[in-house]
Amino acid sequence: MFFRNHRFTDFNIAKTSFLFSFVTLSLLTTSLLAQEKVRSDQRLPPGVLLYSSTPDIPGTYEAFKNTSYGQLINGPELEEFRVQLIEKFEAEASDGIQKIEEELGMPLSDLVALFAGDASFAVLRPIGAPLGVVAMMEYGDHDDILGKLLSRLEAEIEKGTELVKSTEEYAGTEISVFTIETEHPDYQTVDISYFRKDGHLVVASSLSLVESVLDRWDGKNEQTFANDELYAAILEQCATTDGSTPDMVTFFNPIGLATAGLGLVPQAKPFVNLVPLYLPTLGLNRLKATGSAMEVDAEDFNLISKSMVYVERPATGMLKMFELRPTLTGPPTWVPADATQYFGLDWNIAGAYEAVESVYDGFLGPGSFNRQITDLTRQANQENLHIKKDIIDVLSGKMEGFMIQEIEALGPEPELDLKFAASIGVTDEDKAWKLIEAAMKTTDDVEEQQVRGNRVIVFSSPDGKEISLTIQDKQIFIASSAEGLSNTIAGKSDGPALIDSADYKQAKAHLPEQMSMLSYQSPATQLRAPYEALRNGEFDSAVEGDFDFSVLPPFEKIEKYFTPSFGYLMPVEKGAFSVQFGLKPQE
């Protein structure tokens, strides 16, 4: 009985141990599989002033192939021309490529394989350390290729320079160090250091920077650039459409980098300590950083780039010069659907003037700027127009306009047919007419007409074309023709309006209700004429007949790939936020 119970107990213990081991292994495996990849920003120490990263180069390339431009490049429409281009390149470059491959000891295709993931670059100044540079590249399982390349590179460096190579070990990692002696008082020696670890190459301008990266290699250290308050706020504002990792990330601390850069110049060092004293007067102490995140092939977009300028409120000094107001809700009805470009903004021009005045007076005393402007006004014109009272105060700052650019003939002197219309907001129509009349006195061949009961001034542009302008509803309207002006002041376009087009309706879902700036571009209308001219041989002389452009398809065959792009800017709690995006072709 004893033996039976004993055997039974051993069996249970063995089974329990097996189950425990199995569960533990499963949990560890699941944890490892679920563990996020350590990003380059998690391996950098604090103090980053400039940063650029492409987290997944192969993934971004694959995403690009799904965009309309990627489909165009690799599509059947351009196959005949693409084959011609490749054959020409191989014929012209084969000898040079072969020579490079012989010198490297490997095919160039092997070098492309090295871009297996993240590639990043950073300029930083850690606390208590000098300005430095760190570059990282993920090469994956191509250690053999990178090893050959580095060995060849080191051999060339040692052969042609006086660099001293040494090897250090830190955190179980071998570091190669090339020491350079300089005459700079703060950088008497520079240690260009690099190491390879876990499929990554890291190169830095000092051994201490390399060691700081190794200290954060597992991504668990709290003292990293990834936890920088400004950087985190910019990433949050510029988050991708689905919350995934962006295809490209940038960060820039302009004041910090400029100050650190001045510190590298011995002659400028006495002035570096004075910079913080002047920043508040200029208002630049509130400019903290800028950054962006870009996605390729995201939802409805070929590409979408989001940017933020981080400014502490309220903006003062020079920063107030760029204050925009969120009053735009979309293009006006007089902008046609076939416009090549449209642009609108509402700029606080009065605030910009006040900002310049406050900065000027901050250095030279109260009232100095006003006296200077009054003196300039008296010297500059005979119309008694005061720059502040009769110009700045008359303009509201809201401006909108479109352009249709068509190339009628190409050649040494291309003929352009340019149609446009624009509106400029004013605060006082009588003063605005006074301003226009003063400007027209410097122009010959000016006449007045009546359009829809409005007083219209018609004058000639430098190229001899007539331009018409009038004022209505506290707006100066200007157009490239009397007919265009008539349509504009009536609030209608010559044909379908952009705001009613399928392109704008597709974009509207991604636009905020109110914006400070809005832009639109149509690549198809810009490229049609030069593309057809290229097909018809008008540029053959420029390439000396090396390429047969007649094999290109008619523009109508590829027009669908040239999709419109939009952009907007709006204020946010901590500065300004802008977005640029190109739409995918509609099904």
Summarised one tens digit per residue, pLDDT across range 186-227 is 666 778 999 999 999 999 999 999 999 999 999 999 999 999
At 289, give phi and psi (nearest 5°): -170, 165
Task: Quote helix, strand, coil % in the chain, to nearest 5.
Answer: 45, 30, 30
Residues 6+ apart with CB under 8 A from 317: 280, 281, 282, 283, 284, 286, 355, 358, 359, 362
Q: What is the pLDDT of residues 262-293, one digit of tens each?
A: 777 766 666 767 677 778 888 888 999 999 99
- Supply the pLDDT for residue 17: 43
CA–CA distance from 585 to each of 261, 337, 435, 473, 511 (Å)?
45, 16, 46, 38, 18
- Supply the pLDDT for residue 125: 93
- Supply the pLDDT for residue 415: 62
Query: Which has the minimum average pLDDT: 1-10, 100-109, 244-253, 300-309?
Result: 1-10
What contacts 24+ positions apart, CB below 8 Å, involve 94-100?
Answer: none
Q: Are 357 and 371 within 8 A, CB to CB?
A: no
In degrees to the nearest 10, what's the CA dihedral of 551, 552, 556, 562? 170
Q: Are 193 and 163 within 8 A, CB to CB?
A: no
In angstroms, the CA 206 to CA 194 distance is: 9
In angstroms, the CA 174 to CA 177 distance is: 10
Pick from 135, 129, 123, 134: nearest CA to 257? 123
Q: Is the bond preceding residue 58 a cis peptide, omega within 30 degrees?
A: no
Largest CA distance in the chain: 123
Averaged pLDDT score across all residues of the chain:
85
Q: Are 237 and 290 within 8 A, CB to CB?
A: no
Q: What is the pLDDT of residues 318-329, one digit of tens each?
A: 888 889 999 999
Residue 125 Rama label (left phi>0; alpha psi -120 to 50; beta) = beta
Q: Are 151 and 72 within 8 A, CB to CB?
A: no
Mapping DSSP to helix (H, G, I), strand (E, B) and coil, where does residue 35 land? coil
pLDDT bracket for residue 130 (50, 70, 90) = confident
For residue 305, the surrounding DSSP H or E stretch is: strand 301-311
Residues in the chain: 587
Burial 520-559 (b: 16+ CB within 10 A, else e): bbbbbbbebbebbbbbeebeeeeeeeebebeebbebeebb
* Beta strands in 95-219, from DSSP E residues, in sequence order: 119-124, 132-138, 164-170, 173-181, 189-197, 200-204
Q: Are 563 and 68 within 8 A, CB to CB?
A: yes
In degrees to the nearest 10, what's the CA dihedral of 292, 297, 298, 303? 40
DSSP symbol at 544: T
Q: Are 524 and 559 within 8 A, CB to CB?
A: yes
In angstroms, the CA 447 to CA 436 distance is: 13
At 522, give phi and psi (nearest 5°): -120, 95
In angstroms, the CA 77 to CA 395 distance is: 50
Bridge-partner residues for 425, per DSSP?
Answer: 475
pLDDT bracket for residue 587 (50, 70, 90) = low
CA–CA distance from 291 to each of 253, 305, 502, 573 (Å)?
9, 11, 32, 16
How many CA atoms are closer than 13 Å to the CA of 7, on its beta-carbon side?
A: 3
Pick from 310, 309, 311, 295: nearest CA to 239? 295
225-253 mean pLDDT: 94
| CA dihedral for 497, 498, 500, 503, sign (positive or negative) | positive
- Supply the pLDDT for residue 36: 66
Share of the chain above pLDDT 90, in %: 52
Residues 6+ apart with CB under 8 A from 187: 130
**pTM, full prediction:** 0.86
- Supply the pLDDT for residue 345: 97
Mapping DSSP to helix (H, G, I), strand (E, B) and coil, where does residue 308 land? strand
Per-residue pLDDT at 353 exceeds 70: yes
Q: Are 566 and 511 within 8 A, CB to CB?
A: yes
Could you tell me how far CA 405 lies from the centroid of its own chain? 25
Q: What is the pLDDT of residues 112-126, one digit of tens each?
A: 888 999 999 999 998
Helix axes 368-380, 349-364, angle to 10 degrees: 110
